[in-house]
Chains A and B, each alone.
Chain A
């Protein structure tokens, strides 16, 4: 490109800029610059955050189906007492795969996927801060998921529960390679989650549209930021513990062996130091969905912006102070007990603030009962039940009765399904038009909602009672005399209705992709920046970078969008600004497509996988890893380097 110079006030500037170009020319340049090549190569090499996010979401839904089917098989076995449909060996693998998949391969990546999709659009940027890291994170995630499910298919599925307590998962009692696959899968998902966290933090801090000061940032973006910080400080704990587990199993270290000075509770402390924040990694962005969806359907901003943002941060901080509430039955000094009871209950305060603010928002608005809004209502109704049972199990004496029973199973599904999946389904209905350009069917949507809502409550509410009646969790069968048979049968039948609800969702998606009503840019009349561009957004997100002067930019400027000009359009550039006030500082080049992240992920993946069989894999595996990383970071002769 020889004519790549423009003049501004008599000064010559390198590169072609968007200044003063008409829309068609601009589109021509930008779509060429930000293009993902066609074909397999492009598919593997793309660094477009939307494509990668899309994959995250689709893959996470596939894992939901796998984990959901595992749950249905468990429910089939538990439908009657002393049933012999599924033996203990398979059952133990099933609930472990179910829990592990739901937590590590469905819920967290789903939330990451949405964040990767939405954050750059909501803050008015062209891509995330580290696009190649983003691509890498996906490939690592998917290889971890594939690995553990392929192992399961070969009857090597993890079978020690989603928190793999030692010694059961340790070298002596953990049979075969099962716990190794579990531990390595955790390593993969951490690497990918940490990568996403780093890139969300850098993106939110540095790439917000000019004028989007921190207090004009959409609440959803706040929630993604808090999620990223929780990942950053929580995931290393499970990284440390799963590495120790692998080392104990493979090279004979003694971390968890009491006979050699090790300690089995060390595992529990490290795991729950991660495991508790983990549930808020899932819950916080889900509340972000709620705060993003509500305004569009009640036609007013969320009440109590500051209160909600502080609550998010508060939950994030508090979540690191209560891991021990998963270990009450191990026995603690009374004082310690009270501390963890109090800190666990305290988390009800920021959660309560959010609930109250949302109710005030609805009260002060003009609600329209569209499907996304229904899911928000369903969320509040069910999540509060789960939150309240959370407060119950936070009480030490009370927990000593219900710990490790179906009461806890009920709690965790109420908060995970009620608190995270309902907002998630709302989010699917809400952003589907943005992502695909078509609306999801309203009628099927209502069916979807009611089936899931009723199916969910009918499936999981009776579990509270089962728990109080003494039914432990993780049992593959129970005696006839227990009297739990009827309730379990009811639960199992209702879980079919719940599954059907998900079935309707998938049906709706498939039908709407082809026949859905066209959405247009802003079908809900929403206020945030992602609705300022076309649906689906072009590869470069925005023809020009929006300038923000209000918390609800599209309500303030309904017709004409203020924008900033001056980015290069013949090379990938994003705008970088100050952390607090988003004052433009740099025109930062943004990485182009590259196959290297994919190759690096393969190299890393193979090294991890092989290390299950020989520790030396870490040594010889580091060579290809090094090569691919050098290839990744080696600068190309790209136009950005001209300046």
Chain B
């Protein structure tokens, strides 16, 4: 077909932040599907609790301490996370570099606490369905932590290479921060289900 030019988009930027980029929508879609996974895992938990005459089955409720410690660390981490996001939007390379190192470190902390948390669940995964489902939920969240921390570390390294100082990298940093918020928010919900539901 013949063409007739009616618009020119030459001057558009080649990157942007947040909801104007496809990457942000992709991240949101992944968050949506993972949130669905979490919701279904919680659904399975409540379902098993409802068919079982006692809950938790043959175990005390999990020890509050490690899970709560993780909750606290994660909630606090939201602050540096948002600072990094702001710096990324302002494309402040030096600050973003520092921030990414901080966030990598902050990411490892809950992972370390997790090791302890699994022991504090007071039950093994193969003892009964209650043990299975809480290990499942905590495990699911752990894989999210792991992948996001891995992501953060790789991005942090990238920011120190010559490929760091580009708009698109800053946009990636912002999206990474967005995803971290999801990891934190999901733990808030899961935490209440695992630690407080059996105490109600």
Direct interface between A and B, CB < 8 A:
yes
Task: Digitize B11-34: 1 where CB-to-A-CB distance is under 8 Å, 0 elsewhere.
Answer: 111111001111101100110111
Task: Judge if B95 is at the interface, Cβ distance under 8 Å.
Answer: no
Name the segment of A27-35, A75-83, A235-243, A380-388 touching the other chain. Answer: A235-243
Pick the residue among B9, B19, B133, B168 that contacts A255 (CB under 8 A). Answer: B133
Given A197-B29, A585-B12, also A543-B129 (CB < 8 A): no
Residues of A in contact with B, size category: 35 or more
Pick the residue among A198, A210, A547, A586 that contacts B15 (CB under 8 A). Answer: A586
Given A129-B22, A232-B32, also A584-B9 (CB < 8 A): yes
Name the segment of A48-56, A261-269, A288-296, A411-419 touching the other chain. Answer: A261-269
Task: Judge if B51 is at the interface, Cβ distance under 8 Å.
Answer: yes
Task: Digitize B59-99: 1 where CB-to-A-CB distance is under 8 Å, 0 elsewhere.
Answer: 00000000000000000000000000000000000000000
Residues of B within 8 A of A641 (CB): 163, 166, 168
With the chains together, A235 CA to B40 CA distance in Å?
A: 11
Given A199-B26, A232-B33, A563-B3, also A260-B40 (CB < 8 A): no
With the chains together, A235 CA to B47 CA distance in Å?
A: 19
Task: Judge if A589 is at the interface, Cβ distance under 8 Å.
Answer: yes
Task: Judge if A13 is at the interface, Cβ distance under 8 Å.
Answer: yes
Name the segment of B103-111, B120-128, B181-189 touching the other chain. Answer: B120-128
Task: Judge if A38 is at the interface, Cβ distance under 8 Å.
Answer: no
Residues of A within 8 A of B47 (CB): 263, 266, 269
Name the segment of A426-434, A479-487, A510-518, A564-572 touching the other chain. Answer: A564-572
With the chains together, A247 CA to B163 CA distance in Å?
A: 41
Task: Tell me which of A206, A252, A521 has the highest count of chain B C-beta atoms within 10 A of its own C-beta.
Answer: A206
A562 touches B8 (CB 8 A): no
Pick the residue among A233, A254, A532, A565 that contacts B7 (CB under 8 A). Answer: A565
CB distance from A21 to the nearest CB of B (A): 11
Task: Judge if B141 is at the interface, Cβ distance under 8 Å.
Answer: no
Given A194-B33, A232-B29, A232-B33, also A253-B135 (CB < 8 A): yes
Task: Judge if A369 is at the interface, Cβ distance under 8 Å.
Answer: no
Task: Judge if B198 is at the interface, Cβ distance under 8 Å.
Answer: no
Task: Name the residue of chain B whose CB is nearest to the CB of A641.
Answer: B166
Task: Judge if A640 is at the interface, Cβ distance under 8 Å.
Answer: yes
A586 touches B1 (CB 8 A): no
Given A240-B41, A560-B2, also A566-B10 (CB < 8 A): yes
Give residues 207-246 of A contacting B (CB, 8 Å).
207, 210, 232-233, 235-237, 239-240, 243-244
A626 touches B150 (CB 8 A): yes
CB distance from B162 to the nearest CB of A (A): 9
With the chains together, A8 CA to B9 CA distance in Å?
A: 11
B4 touches A201 (CB 8 A): no
Task: Name the residue of chain A whose CB is nearest to the CB of B164.
Answer: A635
Task: Name the residue of chain A whose CB is nearest to the CB of B32.
Answer: A232
CB distance from B24 to the nearest CB of A (A): 9
Task: Name the residue of chain B whose CB is nearest to the CB of A243.
Answer: B136
Residues of B within 8 A of A203 (CB): 22
Task: Judge if A461 is at the interface, Cβ distance under 8 Å.
Answer: no
B2 touches A566 (CB 8 A): no
With the chains together, A47 CA to B22 CA distance in Å?
A: 17
Q: Number of B interface residues at 8 Å Cβ cutoff, please give it.
A: 57
Given A576-B21, A587-B12, also A266-B44 (CB < 8 A): yes
Task: Tell me which of A197, A210, A585 has the highest count of chain B C-beta atoms within 10 A of its own C-beta.
Answer: A585
A262 touches B3 (CB 8 A): no
With the chains together, A589 CA to B172 CA distance in Å?
A: 14
A261 touches B48 (CB 8 A): yes
Task: Judge if A630 is at the interface, Cβ distance under 8 Å.
Answer: yes
Task: Judge if B170 is at the interface, Cβ distance under 8 Å.
Answer: no
Task: Judge if A257 is at the interface, Cβ distance under 8 Å.
Answer: yes
Pick the residue among B12, B25, B40, B125 that contacts A206 (CB under 8 A). Answer: B25
With the chains together, A257 CA to B150 CA distance in Å?
A: 36
A559 touches B136 (CB 8 A): no
Task: Judge if A588 is at the interface, Cβ distance under 8 Å.
Answer: yes
Task: Digitize B127-146: 1 where CB-to-A-CB distance is under 8 Å, 0 elsewhere.
Answer: 11111110110000000000
Given A236-B34, A253-B136, also A565-B10 (CB < 8 A): yes
B21 touches A588 (CB 8 A): yes
Given A198-B29, A260-B127, also A584-B12 (CB < 8 A): yes
A247 touches B136 (CB 8 A): yes
With the chains together, A11 CA to B127 CA distance in Å?
A: 71
Pick the residue among B3, B9, B22, B169 that contacts A566 (CB under 8 A). Answer: B9
Task: Name the residue of chain A whose CB is nearest to the CB of B41.
Answer: A240
CB distance from B126 to the nearest CB of A (A): 4
With the chains together, A244 CA to B5 CA distance in Å?
A: 56
Task: Name the residue of chain B whose CB is nearest to the CB of A262.
Answer: B129
Residues of A within 8 A of B2 (CB): 559-561
Residues of B within 8 A of A630 (CB): 154
Residues of B within 8 A of A547 (CB): 6-7
B29 touches A254 (CB 8 A): no
Task: Judge if A575 is at the interface, Cβ distance under 8 Å.
Answer: yes
B129 touches A586 (CB 8 A): no
CB distance from A269 to the nearest CB of B (A): 7
Residues of A within 8 A of B34 (CB): 236
Residues of B within 8 A of A266 (CB): 44, 47-48
Give residues 520-577 of A contacting B (CB, 8 Å).
521, 532, 543-545, 547, 559-567, 573, 575-576
Given A261-B130, A561-B4, also A575-B33 (CB < 8 A): no
Pick the residue among B22, B136, B167 that contacts A576 (CB under 8 A). Answer: B22
With the chains together, A33 CA to B124 CA distance in Å?
A: 56
Given A19-B8, A563-B3, also A201-B57 (CB < 8 A): no
With the chains together, A411 CA to B95 CA distance in Å?
A: 62
With the chains together, A205 CA to B29 CA distance in Å?
A: 12
Q: Add 11 more A-B contacts to A206-B25, A237-B40, A252-B126 (CB < 8 A).
A: A201-B25, A202-B23, A253-B136, A254-B131, A255-B48, A261-B48, A262-B132, A532-B1, A563-B6, A565-B10, A626-B150
> 30 A–B contact pairs at CB < 8 A?
A13-B10, A19-B5, A130-B22, A194-B33, A203-B22, A206-B21, A210-B7, A233-B36, A237-B40, A252-B125, A252-B126, A254-B131, A255-B48, A261-B52, A261-B57, A544-B3, A560-B2, A563-B4, A563-B6, A565-B10, A566-B7, A584-B7, A585-B16, A586-B14, A586-B15, A586-B21, A587-B9, A587-B12, A635-B163, A643-B167
Residues of B that sit less than 8 Å from A by CB: 1-16, 19-23, 25-26, 29-30, 32-34, 36-37, 40-41, 44, 47-48, 51-52, 57, 125-133, 135-136, 150, 154, 158, 163, 166-169
**Can you list the 3 inter-chain pairs with the closest CB atoms, starting with the nearest?**
A566-B10, A253-B132, A252-B126
